[in-house]
Amino acid sequence: MARAGRDRRPEGARLTVIKRDGSRQEFDRGKLQAGMMRALEKRPVTLARVEQAVDDIESGLRARGQPEVTSKEIGRLATEALRDIDQLAYIRFASVYHSYEDISTLKREVDRLMKQRTPADR
């Protein structure tokens, strides 16, 4: 069994991403990691933590045993991972991924996130 890590990535059959426009391309973990790193820019999060999140997302997708996944599903998983890693990065990523129409929609998401915070988070 392959083990995920810095030098060893999750292995398995080819995984194809179905883009929003219907086109297909091979899953590229580098694109996923780059998107997450953009959201985490200047945040106190280690590269190792991001790599672990990407490994977890990729492993989860491959464990499903399905050869195709939508870009929407990958975005949802990245959003969930970022919510656990860093709430500001989560808002940054979600604002682009969800293409919020206006500031009120973004504010509702921030308000929802604030309600979910535990006293230890504050």
Dist. CA 97–CA 79, nearest whole Å: 8
In degrees, rounded to 5, the angle at the alpha carbon of residue 99 between the alpha carbons of residues 37 and 54 is: 30
Domain assignments of the chain as residue spans, ordered by start: 16-121
Q: How many of the other CB atoms lie within 10 Å of CB of 93?
A: 22
User: Contact, 113 vs 91, CB < 8 A?
Assistant: yes
Predicted confidence pLDDT, tens digits, the chain (122 residues): 343 444 444 556 789 999 999 999 999 999 999 999 999 999 999 999 999 999 999 999 999 999 999 999 999 999 999 999 998 998 888 877 766 677 887 788 788 877 876 555 55
Sign of torsion, CA 77 93 99 119? positive
* The pTM of the whole model exceeds 0.85: no
